[in-house]
Structure 1
């Protein structure tokens, strides 16, 4: 089945690892050739790849590496001695060290999260002015001046993405970078002995900063942000090519069995790369905040006020006693004492039961993230159930024993929900969450946005001159060589890629200025106004009381069904009096599942209808010769968003057809046969839906 995974299907569509007949192999540019010769003289080895040019669908040319002979798994394509790599530590131990020590507010980890980038930027500007005297001369002169990323796109180019959230993020980052460049220039002016006039300019800073951001390595054994010569020229694709560190004893992180795919450590899904090439390259852009919070109050629900109830009960009791004594003056004091005692006992029991209900609500608030994408529906129903139970108990429709027993059952259901919720987050959504931690951002109204500090704010932070801000940040690296290795084979004449990480097109645009067609790690967000689906007043009250987000935001992907959206839709129809908690996260009631799928389909189709372009129109637009690089990647971004929506709509339609057939008695193997929504993706769709269909089949047998 793995040969039918989304990744394998996309590779076949794009011809990854196959010879590229449109590649242009010409003489390697002189500066690149000199760069290679310089690296070779320092002990570097480059095998089976050569500099070449490739073309987009509309003929735009871009450089990369082509296989000069067949490449097989476990091949080492590049070997670079540690001394050829530029790290933050080398920048710190340079002649710029006094400047770094003088301004820790800008250059140290205690003050600034981007301190490594600041140090390397300052260092490369310093080395740039040294020309051929610099050890890093060939690296610097090969930094392209015609490459940028979405942060530096103009307004028209950004608007061509047709995504307000990515535009907002790009503009915010641009403002932050302007502050960075202004601050660096101010500091550099304080050290005229280090920088020549005209070196620390906005133009030079943007040029070198862009090369740092788009070419640096980090994570996977590297202790610092690292510039890796030559390897930075590999283009990104979802191919299993990675870097590895060879130690002094020749040992490496990955052994032969792993590199030849005879052993895949912990790999369960073929659509997850076995190697994450740049662990530190996944930033928060992929979950960029676009929150719009509920405002105002909701006055159609009032919490039960036991203190007021108790006060009124006492007043009523006293009035009743007075009235009773007027009519029955012969009543003895012992009887009065007995009546008061019985009243107090009853009031105490009522208080105890009420407190049990309050404790149950408190437990929910403390253990369940009601700001997630669906728990508000569960919370609303449980609160409503508790409110009704208290009302029935106080109106004598429920005994104390019955009320306590029902509250205990509700607690059991809440605990079950919590356990299923954690399992769903960890095992299905792959969001590792530990139960012992209870950090739910939505519970504190809104998360404050990280402000962009001005230069004055950055440099005015108080500094303790007796404090060492740097020593703990640096550890010497001891590996011998950095290796670029492959687990994938490549034909002779194929473009050889390096997987930077599992990157969505959003992150690629914001970090590298590019996007990929048929990117199996791409995703898009579906935003749903959910208040209209809440059927009880207490649920709406909770949303207003805690000022939750107006929208529920679901991440749609190529490689998995929209599980979270399905659970959201299921909870809209879920009823505490009809369904068990198990049915929320597991398929046990096919009718409930069918209702959820139908609503999910309705929501997806409604959102998809808001896009004014079609997949076919954008596919044709990619062939337009008039498109520049920015416009080309913007079209891909919009195209892939539509493809993800189409994929998810088709997956839901297929699931509905399968459930309908099964409920009519069609055998399972016949029910999952090809449908009109499979198109050329029948095997891939069945691979994606295999776990979901297994649950459906299990539910069918349980019902029988």
Structure 2
């Protein structure tokens, strides 16, 4: 068939593409009982809409594995399977993009067949996708991110090389691939479709999945499961197929009524919906509003949100690839400066750890937090033991009619040299351990091997399912790709239904998918701070602590900081506390040994540090908004005639500016609290704060500048945004710091 004829077939079927695709889905067993597709949304966006409510833990999309375009399908294809087997350098793990190239070549082969291809209705439906790296110069400049724009050059070079590799391959197999049809344009189009739409996580194989890939991306918790009907009915907990999450969900739409009656718990889910409703209420806004009447912020029922992005470790890999193991030996200047910073942390030998990409400054923050957590744990053990001793003494007193002696409570911040004679041996052992940890903490000795910390409380990264149970030849029939609503709320009728492509930052989404999203909780504003810095005098020009991009020592000896919307960055706070400690101690003639990285220990020093924090943020804001302000960009986004490239480019830089502005607002809020606490100290005779618990609560519940000016209404674009909920979230992520301040200033906590 001629190239023009093939293109005409696809053009002629465009008008009926949705109808043809829906008929194909119905005929081949795709089930979407509660979904409407296609559905139109604002700006002409095509996606999927809920026709009915979709409850938590309810499966709502089922695609038989027979409809998936997979690696195994390609490699075992009766006609072109040998192409993949004969070219392992392209189609095995030897090549970085072997999965995407395998699927692309398979789809190119099927594309040629037009209506004779089983997948024609699916191929005919797929939209044109343009790689971000192919945007025009003006469109790339709109993002106002030179680092990301630079990264597109290597991305573009890589895909051009991959086209050359595929072009040479196709020339070797003219019996399968028509070179007049499969040109660079068609390769780029289908390769972009594969790269932006294929699934990998939670599957035994990377695959293109019809219908599932029509859901747009958001950070909603919709997960995919691989469900085999026979194994699901059996529900054998000893089989590798079994996972706890998999058997919590309701899959009854893919089973007959008879099958559901025979195995209801395995099919409808071992999920306690009543208990779930109770838990939802516990963590709800309405409950926070009730609890805050009687409790402090840090005592509210709250679960930490996860905002850490996961960009397939590419950013981390980049750091490690460029890490020079011999750098410390060759650069005496950098080594000297880092050793100075290491001494501030309490260890000369920490200099090399600071520039190790596997550790860095964040590593030391985490180590100190671990020590503090262990101290709190030991403190609870001691208090529990002392409570038990008091009960025993009361009993002895009652028996002997004598008055029991009062047991002293050990102060974790003081050396313990005396112990009550009635302490048990176990309590003495605990007390000794506390003293050792406290001494380590005072010296900020963060060497984990010396502390011999256990990892009992560490949360490990979730690992993908073990798919050794799956046999593609035997199980392709009877196995389904399933999407499940695991968001802790109902997807309401009429709402757009999303799928989360992963914890992706806007930079990752733009580079790999060609779009970004507003109010992305996994987005960050990224910059670096120098570790090879020695501050002897006060600074007002914050470029002194930011690495110069052309200075090799600076760039290698730098810590990456990721600012998040409305969140205090503890790594940056710990960094500022460390690098300014020597200067501040010299200026005020105070002993610096008691100052920590992760907890406030001196209110004057906290005020000093947060002023530096604010100064740095305003420095970053000045350069980020030099070309256009946040308000100007928001106005530009109202233009309905913008190309989608310019729209995403402006949106990308808007989100960065919102992150910086929200951090400025947060730091000003903290400074206001610190200054009022300090003012109350100065007005008292014993240098203790005169602020009561009630006044302190009023202080931290007071509106920030951003909240008072209704900035959220102007900035936030997502329809489900709840301003009152954000008000609590903003403070709840600060609850630990606010409690530390209360303890530091002597506010009585009940």
CA–CA distance in 1 between the matches of 2:323 and 2:183?
39
User: How far does the alpha carbon of each residue in 1:161-192 deviate from its partner, in whole angstroms, 9 at most, with x for none?
Assistant: 11011111122111100000110110110111
RMSD between aligned residues:
4.3
CA–CA distance in 1 between the matches of 2:561 and 2:451?
16
Contact 1:514 1:633 (8 Å CA) reproduced:
yes
CA–CA distance in 1 between the matches of 2:536 and 2:162?
50
1:282 correspondence with 2:318: no
CA–CA distance in 1 between the matches of 2:106 and 2:147?
34
1:50 correspondence with 2:95: no
1:658 correspondence with 2:641: no
Residue in 1 that maps onto 2:643: 628
Q: What is the CA distance between 1:51 and its match in structure 2?
A: 2.2
SS, match of residue 282 in structure 1: coil
Matches within 5 A, 1:185-584: 185-220=167-202, 222-248=203-229, 249-250=232-233, 252-255=246-249, 256=269, 257=271, 261=276, 269=303, 271-272=305-306, 282-285=312-315, 363-364=349-350, 369=355, 374=361, 413=443, 415-416=445-446, 418=448, 476=472, 480-486=479-485, 487=487, 488-528=489-529, 531=532, 533-535=534-536, 549=556, 551-558=558-565, 560-575=567-582, 578-580=591-593, 583-584=596-597
Which is higher, the Rg of structure 1 or of structure 2?
A: 1
Q: What is the CA distance between 1:528 and its match in structure 2?
A: 3.6
Moved more, 74-83 or 157-166: 74-83
Contact 1:377 1:572 (8 Å CA) reproduced:
no
* From 89, 97, 102, the counterpart of 1:119: 102
Q: What is the CA distance between 1:522 and its match in structure 2?
A: 1.1
CA–CA distance in 2 between the matches of 1:524 and 1:701?
36
Residue in 2 that maps onto 1:669: 697
1:107 correspondence with 2:108: no
**Runs of 5+ consecutive residues of structure 1 not aligned to the other structure:** 1-27, 304-356, 379-408, 434-471
Q: What is the CA distance between 1:219 and its match in structure 2?
A: 1.1
CA–CA distance in 2 between the matches of 1:686 and 1:642?
21
CA–CA distance in 1 between the matches of 2:315 and 2:567?
21
TM-score (structure 2 length as normaliser): 0.63
* From 92, 105, 111, the counterpart of 2:75: 92
CA–CA distance in 1 between the matches of 2:598 and 2:96?
39
Q: What is the CA distance between 1:259 and its match in structure 2?
A: 8.4
* From 31, 48, 53, the counterpart of 1:65: 48
> Greater relative contact order: 1 or 2 (C-alpha under 8 angstroms, separation 6 or more)?
1
CA–CA distance in 2 between the matches of 1:501 and 1:656?
36
Matches within 5 A, 1:75-86: 75-86=58-69
Contact 1:161 1:634 (8 Å CA) reproduced:
yes
Shift of the 591–494 alpha-carbon distance from structure 1 to 2, 3 Å rule, reads: same
CA–CA distance in 2 between the matches of 1:546 and 1:609?
26
Shift of the 559–89 alpha-carbon distance from structure 1 to 2, 3 Å rule, reads: farther
Moved more, 570-579 or 31-40: 570-579
1:640 correspondence with 2:685: no
Matches within 5 A, 1:168-187: 168-187=150-169
CA–CA distance in 2 between the matches of 1:686 and 1:370?
34
SS, match of residue 34 in structure 1: helix
CA–CA distance in 2 between the matches of 1:150 and 1:422?
48
SS, match of residue 106 in structure 1: helix
Residue in 2 that maps onto 1:35: 21
CA–CA distance in 2 between the matches of 1:286 and 1:599?
28
Residue in 2 that maps onto 1:615: 630
* From 576, 598, 619, the counterpart of 1:606: 619
SS, match of residue 697 in structure 2: helix
CA–CA distance in 2 between the matches of 1:225 and 1:301?
45
Q: What is the CA distance between 1:659 and its match in structure 2?
A: 1.8
CA–CA distance in 1 between the matches of 2:569 and 2:456?
15
Shift of the 169–554 alpha-carbon distance from structure 1 to 2, 3 Å rule, reads: same
**Runs of 5+ consecutive residues of structure 2 not aligned to the other structure:** 1-13, 236-245, 250-268, 284-300, 338-342, 366-438, 463-467, 538-544, 681-688, 711-725
Residue in 2 that maps onto 1:333: none
Residue in 1 that maps onto 2:11: none
CA–CA distance in 2 between the matches of 1:418 and 1:677?
41
SS, match of residue 206 in structure 2: strand
* From 135, 146, 164, the counterpart of 1:164: 146
Contact 1:529 1:550 (8 Å CA) reproduced:
yes
Count residues with an aligned counterpart: 537
Shift of the 285–211 alpha-carbon distance from structure 1 to 2, 3 Å rule, reads: farther
Residue in 2 that maps onto 1:19: none
Contact 2:665 2:704 (8 Å CA) reproduced:
no
Contact 2:442 2:594 (8 Å CA) reproduced:
no
Contact 1:80 1:481 (8 Å CA) reproduced:
yes
Shift of the 657–207 alpha-carbon distance from structure 1 to 2, 3 Å rule, reads: same
User: How far does the alpha carbon of each residue in 1:514-541 deviate from its partner, in whole angstroms, 9 at most, with x for none?
Assistant: 11111122111133456555449xxx9x
SS, match of residue 686 in structure 1: helix
SS, match of residue 510 in structure 1: helix
Contact 1:505 1:522 (8 Å CA) reproduced:
yes
